[in-house]
């Protein structure tokens, strides 16, 4: 199966260092959060048939790949990221036949499908875990089991093997009465961590992955994959365990230390990823694998995504989406363009010679960027800031990811009460920080949830202005699992589909540029100004490697990422002054306002609020 809507990057254009260039080097990925995308049966939860019914919309947008958040069988403690059977579809989303039909219909449109894969942990209802609860089982060592501390009563505070806390609140250890021991869970207590030190665990995972690849999917996005390797001492003890030779860090304000430094980008991660590639992917073609990478910095990204090292094609790094958070995720720090530029610069420069970057601001775990860093207080500013952040991400070097509704400029939920949230992380964090540890006021925590809570990205897709935004029938007896954003009346796909000035149309242009411009897809990236508090500017340059010479292609991207007018930095002005005829309307490749306005803005040296411009140099 070949993707139909992209030109092929010629071999004289360098991408990630592989030869020939990988098919995904000028592709665009669209993430679907199935429970919020399209409900086909009126039960309030999106499903596979609903996704299939919207494939023409996805094809019109022009993307090459859809990434499905988990649709496997699950108790849904963490909305499907707690998997109880990797080789079954949860009835909430449909059947395996529905999945096969979706694959067939997507492939017929030239769209590839990758599935979310969660193998750092399973559900506690998975058969593997249930067997592991028996210490005499052959799966007894498939999870991280530990006895209570000597002299402490099992199950009571202080008896845990070490003082690690879960990222979702409370202890990272849960006592199991049946086994008489604790198991480790970095996330929910219903998400026990798999023990990847055990070769049998790894083989079972690879067998399952091969089963899906044989069924016809095109690859995986692997959830928190860089947390599968843990730091242990020579005797296999975790930091802080009794007898361990590795000290834990001190407990924080909530009374726990964090497993993060010891469970992210651990000592065997390269070994495990190489083994996975060898056992699942090396014998195949046309696939794509991307890993969510907690704890991985830009330099490590270069190594892991270098094709010579045979690990992963791409990684999701998170330094740039943590710039507005303090010591805790729930500490609000004011958005600063300089901090964003610093992080994206590090990511771009690390893969200058080899490796590849994933480009994103939004996903199912990250709030809507137009509310987080943009401006959704008026329709004009919402549309402009949505376009500006789209331009920022899509004009960098790497593979862009669009999260459902981002192409419409969907906003945060603006919830004001805790009972409006459904996200386990948000609810647990409120209870832990406000009610148990008492380290944050209810008012500031609600403010943080409104900005960072994951449900901001999970409200139903806004297809039209009807009662439930077209996510489900307006006369359905039930209601959506999560409230529809009231602004769907104004912000929806139907209103934007044929509007030449809409955010949707702007995103179609960005996708088309990625497909048909080798300069956009793979040109070198260079920062123009590194200190301006409002303007983010960079160039893209493409020099062919065929030895025929000629002038390189070059473009300038300049963005005012603020709601105020901004003066062009001197470095940008100097670049533009080299042009013999100044900046003309026909030189403007793309603008968040219009070409006439942007040509005048560059000539006058001042950008309007959220004005972004691509100009050919």
Q: Give the DSSP letter string of 151-215.
A: TS-TTSTT-SSS-BB-TTSSBSEEEETTTTEEEE-SS-TTSPBB-TTSHHHHHHHHHHHHHHHHH
574 CB-contact burial (10 Å; exposed 0-12 / middle 13-18 / buried 19+): exposed
Do 26 and 521 touch, CB atoms closer than 8 A? yes
Paired strand residues for 182: 146, 175
The pLDDT of residue 547 is 54
CB atoms within 10 A of CB 91: 9
527 and 451 in a common domain: no
What is the arithmetic mean of pLDDT over 301-330? 97
223 is catalytic: yes
Is the residue at 166 inside a domain? Answer: no
List, for residues 197-229, the tens digit of each pLDDT value: 999 999 999 999 999 999 999 999 999 999 999
pLDDT at 355 over 90: yes
- 383-387 average pLDDT score: 98
Say if residue 348's pLDDT is above 70. yes
Residue 436 lies in a domain: yes
The single residue listed with the structure tokens 């958070």 is: 325
Of the listed ranges 10-14, 54-58, 352-356, 460-464, the one predicted with least confidence: 10-14
Active-site pick, 39, 292, 302, 306: 292
Which residue blocks in 195-251 are alpha helix, DSSP H? 199-215
Rounded-to-integer distance, Cα 441 and Cα 436, Å: 11
User: Could you tell me the maximum CA-CA distance found in the chain, to the nearest angstrom?
Assistant: 82
CATH number at residue 574: 2.60.40.1180
Active-site hit among 160, 181, 223, 306: 223
Write down the pTM of the prediction: 0.96
- In 3D space, the residue among 157, 172, 163, 161 whose CA is nearest the CA of residue 251 turns out to be 163
The answer as to whether 571 is a domain residue is yes
Among 403, 433, 456, residue at a domain's last position? 456
Q: Which of 456, 480, 511 is the last residue of a domain?
A: 456
Q: Would 589 be classed as within a structural domain?
A: yes
Best CA proximity match to 373, nearest among 456, 497, 484: 456
What number of other Cβ atoms are within 10 A of residue 595's Cβ? 17
Token representation of residue 173: 């250890």
Residue 586 annotated as catalytic = no
Planar angle of CA 216, 290, 271, nearest 5 degrees: 105
Q: What pLDDT is attached to residue 100?
A: 98
Residue 192, burial from CB neighbour count under 10 angstroms (0-12, 13-18, 19+) = buried
**Average pLDDT over every residue of 327-340:** 96
pLDDT recorded at residue 280: 98
Overall domain count for the chain: 2
Phi and psi, residue 484, nearest 5°: -70, 140
Peptide bond into 20 cis (omega under 30): yes
Average pLDDT over residues 98-121: 98
Smallest Cα–Cα separation from 99: which of 132, 142, 141, 52?
52
- The β-bridge partners of 89 are 72
Domain contains 435: yes
pLDDT (mean) for 233-239: 97
* Local structure of residue 344 (DSSP, 8 states): H
Assess whether pLDDT exceeds 50 at residue 1.
no
Structure tokens that stand for 614 in this block? 């691509």
**Residue 10 CB: number of other CB atoms within 10 A?**
12
- pLDDT in the model for residue 548: 57
Has residue 233 been placed in a domain? no
Q: Whose CA is closest to 27, among 539, 516, 354, 589?
A: 516
- Residue 37: the pLDDT is 98
Q: Over the chain, what is the mean pLDDT?
A: 96
In 390-523 the beta strands, taken as DSSP E runs, fall at 399-403
- 558 inside domain: yes
Residue with tokens 């590795």: 246
| Structural domain span for residue 430 | 420-456
- What is the pLDDT at residue 29? 98
Confidence bin at 549 (pLDDT 50/70/90) = low
pLDDT, mean of residues 298-302: 97
DSSP class of 487:
G
What is the CB neighbour count within 10 angstroms for residue 284? 12
Hey, which residues does 175 pair with through a beta bridge?
Answer: 182
Residue 322 pLDDT > 90: yes
State residue 545's pLDDT score.
Answer: 64
Residue 3 has pLDDT above 50, yes or no: no
Report the alpha-carbon angle 56-57-62, nearest 5: 90
Q: What is the arithmetic mean of pLDDT over 422-429?
A: 95
The confidence score (pLDDT) of residue 500 equals 97
Residues above pLDDT 70, as percent of the chain: 98
Cα separation, 559 vs 529, in Å, equals: 11
């Amino acid at each position: 199966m070949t993707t139909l809507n992209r030109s092929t990057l010629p071999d004289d254009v360098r991408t990630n260092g592989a030869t020939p260039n990988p098919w995904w080097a000028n592709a665009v990925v669209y993430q679907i959060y199935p429970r919020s995308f399209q409900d086909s049966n009126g039960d309030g939860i999106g499903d596979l048939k609903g996704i299939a019914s919207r494939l023409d919309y996805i094809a019109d947008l022009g993307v090459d790949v859809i990434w499905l958040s988990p649709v496997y069988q699950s108790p849904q403690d963490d909305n499907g990221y707690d998997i109880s059977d990797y080789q079954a579809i949860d009835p909430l989303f449909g059947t395996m036949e529905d999945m096969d039909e979706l694959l067939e219909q997507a492939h017929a449109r030239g769209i590839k499908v990758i599935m979310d894969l969660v193998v750092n942990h399973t559900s506690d209802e998975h058969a593997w875990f249930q067997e592991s609860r028996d210490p005499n089982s052959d799966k007894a060592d498939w999870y991280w089991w530990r006895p209570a501390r000597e002299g402490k009563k099992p199950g009571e505070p202080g008896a845990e093997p070490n003082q690690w806390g879960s990222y979702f609140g409370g202890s990272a250890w849960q006592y199991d009465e049946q086994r008489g021991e604790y198991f480790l869970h970095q996330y929910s207590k219903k998400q026990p961590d798999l023990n990847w030190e055990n070769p049998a665990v790894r083989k079972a995972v690879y067998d399952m992955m091969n089963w899906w690849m044989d069924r016809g999917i095109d690859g995986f996005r692997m959830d928190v994959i860089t947390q599968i390797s843990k730091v242990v001492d020579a005797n296999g003890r975790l930091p802080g365990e009794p007898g361990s030779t590795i000290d834990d860090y001190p407990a924080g304000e909530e009374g726990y230390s964090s497993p993060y430094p010891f469970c992210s980008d651990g000592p065997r991660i390269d070994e495990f990823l190489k083994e996975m590639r060898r056992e699942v992917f090396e014998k195949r073609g046309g696939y794509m694998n991307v890993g969510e990478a907690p704890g991985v910095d830009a330099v490590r990204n270069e190594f892991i995504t270098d094709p010579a090292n045979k690990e992963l094609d791409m990684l999701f790094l998170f330094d740039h989406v943590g710039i507005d958070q303090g010591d805790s995720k729930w500490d609000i720090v004011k958005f600063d363009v300089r901090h964003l530029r610093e992080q994206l610069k590090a990511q771009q420069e690390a893969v200058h010679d080899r490796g590849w970057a994933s480009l994103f601001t939004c996903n199912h775990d990250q709030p809507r960027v137009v509310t987080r860093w943009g401006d959704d207080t008026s329709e004009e500013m919402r549309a402009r800031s949505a376009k500006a952040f789209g331009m920022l991400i899509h004009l960098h070097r790497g593979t862009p990811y669009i999260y459902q509704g981002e192409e419409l400029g969907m906003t945060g939920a603006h919830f004001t009460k805790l009972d409006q949230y459904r996200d386990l992380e948000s609810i647990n964090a409120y209870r832990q920080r406000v009610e148990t540890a008492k380290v944050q006021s209810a008012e500031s925590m609600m403010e943080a949830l409104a900005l960072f809570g994951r449900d901001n990205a999970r409200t139903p897709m806004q297809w039209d202005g009807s009662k439930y935004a077209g996510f489900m029938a307006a006369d359905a007896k039930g209601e959506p699992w999560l409230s529809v954003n009231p602004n769907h009346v104004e912000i929806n796909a139907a209103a934007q589909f044929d509007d030449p000035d809409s955010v949707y149309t702007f995103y179609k242009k960005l996708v088309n540029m990625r497909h048909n411009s080798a300069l956009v897809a793979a040109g070198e990236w260079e920062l123009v100004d590194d200190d301006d508090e409002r303007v983010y500017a960079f160039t893209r340059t493409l020099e062919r490697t065929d030895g025929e010479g000629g002038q390189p292609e070059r473009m300038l991207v300049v963005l005012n990422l603020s709601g105020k007018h901004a003066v062009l930095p001197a470095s940008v002005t100097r670049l533009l002054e080299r042009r013999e005829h100044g900046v003309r309307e026909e030189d403007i490749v793309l603008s968040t306002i219009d070409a006439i306005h942007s040509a005048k803005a560059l000539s006058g040296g001042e950008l309007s609020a959220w004005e972004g411009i691509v100009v050919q140099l």
